[in-house]
Structure 1
């Protein structure tokens, strides 16, 4: 295939790529200079604020205002909070409070922190309406199950982030909240008719568009009720007729990760990328582990598709132009706002205030004397990753148990003569966790249960504490309620 620098540069302009290290490798710096629109950072790229700031500065030296993005939702899905958990309470907690001023202030604070680190595109907020209790991929990432509540917080989140000069990206269009499957592994299907989908799933995206959201991220889901066969990411009717023509969106359409099986499992990443751009995606988020050789294959596939007539050059030019306009907006926003390098210490203050307001207590929490804390483990989803959670930082005698492998009687023996606190995370999704907790409560009905996911399964217990998330500030708020001296010192 003959070399065509102009066409290759246009193909590069559709790419949002990951890389493998704490410093930008040469292929990334050269790629940015050759027109790659930007990068997406993950846990493997982030070590400390100083390292991240230096890394992002090196990316900006390679080209003018590259898109520097990450999945930073606050709450359970955090990249900058990977070491101890997020300083922000997350969407479910903000939805439980239902104060749009708080949501806007929280996301503004998050945006200021991200901007201070050198980020300019946040693949957030999640504006999915979580109506499936067993949803394995959304859950606490959603503001709630009521479409109007989600819509008003979607708008507030977009406004808060973008007031800080960080482009928001509402996701996962047209709505991942009614699924019981994870599109990382398969292609979920939403069983709802067109009227319900428009009234429920689409309402928050309309609110985000009205709030001026700069980008929207697609979902790898199938919606037969809207006549969509195959992933929405690859459907031109969904991305053009619905999102652009009907809903009036003029910004950048970003694909969800192209390495997810829901979009590329059967056809491979290069072919899925061609189909996504042809359908209307402007920016391809390639995923976490799609590095130099695979990026080259995606670029080659896009170039080849134009030469074969399967993808028009005009479509590539349109995508490149939209991505360039997004970068121009980011550049102007930075100049207008003259953002500080950090948020001046307000992060924990805003985040903890929201977490405290979200935390609920059913029953009376006793004055705990010498408490014994049992944390019932739950698997972290792919989007969440391995981020610490629980009450261990504030209670010395804390044990993490596997509900499948461990024996509740051993924990009852260890807790004899002491106040028992049981911590769970989305217990409604795990029968083994329910059985383990029920065994503990059968012998200790006065025990306190702390739910750090969605408070759907509510056992009979002495007191039931709901945090609506497992972020650091959610846990700290619960620890305060339980009277941890360490938590009270930390909160001051």
Structure 2
């Protein structure tokens, strides 16, 4: 009997798969897969109706009805990365803001609050926190998602956040092992390489993951990053790299980053990558958000993406490439994570450590840095948004700053690879002579397009104020402003209060 026609093998394969899906109700194929033994599903923004507080809990209840113990994950970090508040922006601080404040008690409380929100949605696994050490200031995908740029700082806050999330009754999944912090390529779009010596990776990037393991983290997510010192494969597919997790005492579930990302799909194929990931020691295969991040054969659906990975595993069992024992090992680990979440659900979770609501505004006020005189007069306010397009990790297109500032208009000039002079010429032509200009930027390292644009703006509008939602520049900018260390609705409210003197 072939694997594809053996119910036991099909159930075993399904038990290590974690797909995304389209829509705000459970599609028939997903319910059928859960009946067949599917591990669960991952929620993304398109699954959530943010005008209806009952919708997501009802969806979670339907999936739990289809399969008790189902693992329901959500990519919810706070700051720039949110699915629960994708339409408006997060009301939790970024990891970078928490690192700036550097109070692990506050970070733990933020974890408890994040868990409360995830638990209310019916999800059981938070794909957080980020344990990457952002040592490359030009990193296009981590940045303010990291607690900071040193292993010691990141490690203590990772441990605190893990403790808070799991005290709140939600399984934490720390990411992206063995570190995405020294990359210059977004793995959603290509295959990053880390060229650091092994000793530097060991000393500067692995300690936060060890801190998470020591804190009892339930799951670790792999990165689609090649660490040249460790081998030629991305970590997700490399048995040596995943073995390092077990050598460090991690006994929980190893979850892959999404297999629809171009770093896997374009280089190996999602199906072939899934087989190699299980062979390397991964347990739960995150298939991801139905997308076009990597090459596909025409237009495909959420079911097509799921079936591609499922069928590749079944074919690999049939041809002997994938031993049943490897699937059984992975399935046991996934079952263990499900048992953890079920026990946590029965126990309930802390709502806060002190009985008071978590004060995000206080964290943001303490975290932001003010450069020069930054008051903005009443009257016409124009937001000039020069920031890069949101990455696939961030996903949310919410722009809360113009709302918080009461801007009369928003002039969008995302630079990307376009000429800064041409973009600024067009943008300045749209701004009234008497308008107060607030420029939003997020990539202001020397030589960047946004830095060149600010130089042009300083000449044309020397009264402009800069709000930098990314990491600060290593040198002085030509205009006064704020370094916010994150972008969120909560950050926008504090920025508006700081610039106008009026609370939002």
TM-score range, shorter chain: over 0.9
In structure 2, the partner of 1:268 is: 269
Q: How big is the alpha-carbon RMSD for the aligned residues of Structure 1 and Structure 2?
A: 2.4
In structure 2, the partner of 1:389 is: 399
1:93 positional shift: 1.1
**1:369-448 alignment, distance < 5 Å:** 369-370=378-379, 372-378=381-387, 379-394=389-404, 395-402=406-413, 403=415, 404=418, 406-408=423-425, 411=428, 414-417=431-434, 419-428=436-445, 431-448=448-465
Q: Is the 8 A contact 2:190 2:262 kept in 1?
A: yes
Give, in whole Å, the separation in 1 of the partners of 2:80 and 2:369.
18
In structure 1, the partner of 2:5 is: 3
1:312 positional shift: 1.8
In structure 2, the partner of 1:135 is: 139
In structure 2, the partner of 1:251 is: 252
Give, in whole Å, the separation in 1 of the partners of 2:71 and 2:208.
25
Give, in whole Å, the separation in 2 of the partners of 1:301 and 1:410.
49
Q: 1:460 to 1:409 in 2, by over 3 A?
A: farther
1:87 positional shift: 0.6
Q: Deviations over 1:111-163 (max 9, x none)?
A: 10110110110111111011111111111111111111011111011111111
In structure 1, the partner of 2:303 is: 292
Q: 1:368 to 1:461 in 2, by over 3 A?
A: farther
Q: Deviations over 1:59-104 (max 9, x none)?
A: 1110112111111111111111111100111111111111111111
Give, in whole Å, the separation in 1 of the partners of 2:446 and 2:478.
19
1:177 positional shift: 0.5
Alignment partner of 1:365 out of 338, 356, 374: 374
In structure 2, the partner of 1:168 is: 172
In structure 2, the partner of 1:352 is: 361
Q: Deviations over 1:180-231 (max 9, x none)?
A: 11111221110111111100110100000000000000011111212x2111
The yes-or-no answer on 1:321 pairing with 2:338 is no
Q: 1:44 to 1:413 in 2, by over 3 A?
A: closer
Q: Is the 8 A contact 2:168 2:349 kept in 1?
A: no
Q: Deviations over 1:16-49 (max 9, x none)?
A: 0111111001111121121100101111111122
Q: 1:362 to 1:407 in 2, by over 3 A?
A: closer
In structure 1, the partner of 2:296 is: none
The yes-or-no answer on 1:71 pairing with 2:82 is no
Give, in whole Å, the separation in 2 of the partners of 1:10 and 1:437.
56
The yes-or-no answer on 1:472 pairing with 2:489 is yes
Alignment partner of 1:40 out of 39, 42, 64: 42
Q: Is the 8 A contact 1:69 1:122 kept in 2?
A: yes
Q: Is the 8 A contact 1:130 1:178 kept in 2?
A: yes
Q: 1:429 to 1:107 in 2, by over 3 A?
A: farther
Q: Deviations over 1:263-285 (max 9, x none)?
A: 23133211111110111110000
Q: Is the 8 A contact 2:83 2:396 kept in 1?
A: no
Task: Normalising by structure 2, report the TM-score.
Answer: 0.90
Q: Is the 8 A contact 2:81 2:396 kept in 1?
A: no
Q: Is the 8 A contact 1:16 1:40 kept in 2?
A: yes
Give, in whole Å, the separation in 2 of the partners of 1:397 and 1:457.
32
Give, in whole Å, the separation in 1 of the partners of 2:349 and 2:255.
27
Q: 1:225 to 1:105 in 2, by over 3 A?
A: same
Q: Is the 8 A contact 1:363 1:463 kept in 2?
A: yes
Find the residue that maps to 2:5 and give its secondary structure: coil
Query: Which moved further from structure 2: 460-469 or 401-410?
Result: 401-410
In structure 2, the partner of 1:307 is: 318
1:326 positional shift: 0.8
Task: Normalising by structure 1, report the TM-score.
Answer: 0.92
Give, in whole Å, the separation in 1 of the partners of 2:14 and 2:321.
18
Structure 2, unaligned runs of 5 or more: 291-300
In structure 1, the partner of 2:235 is: 232
Q: Is the 8 A contact 1:15 1:285 kept in 2?
A: yes
Find the residue that maps to 1:422 and give its secondary structure: strand
Q: Deviations over 1:433-452 (max 9, x none)?
A: 22222122124434321111
Give, in whole Å, the separation in 1 of the partners of 2:343 and 2:396.
36
In structure 2, the partner of 1:449 is: 466
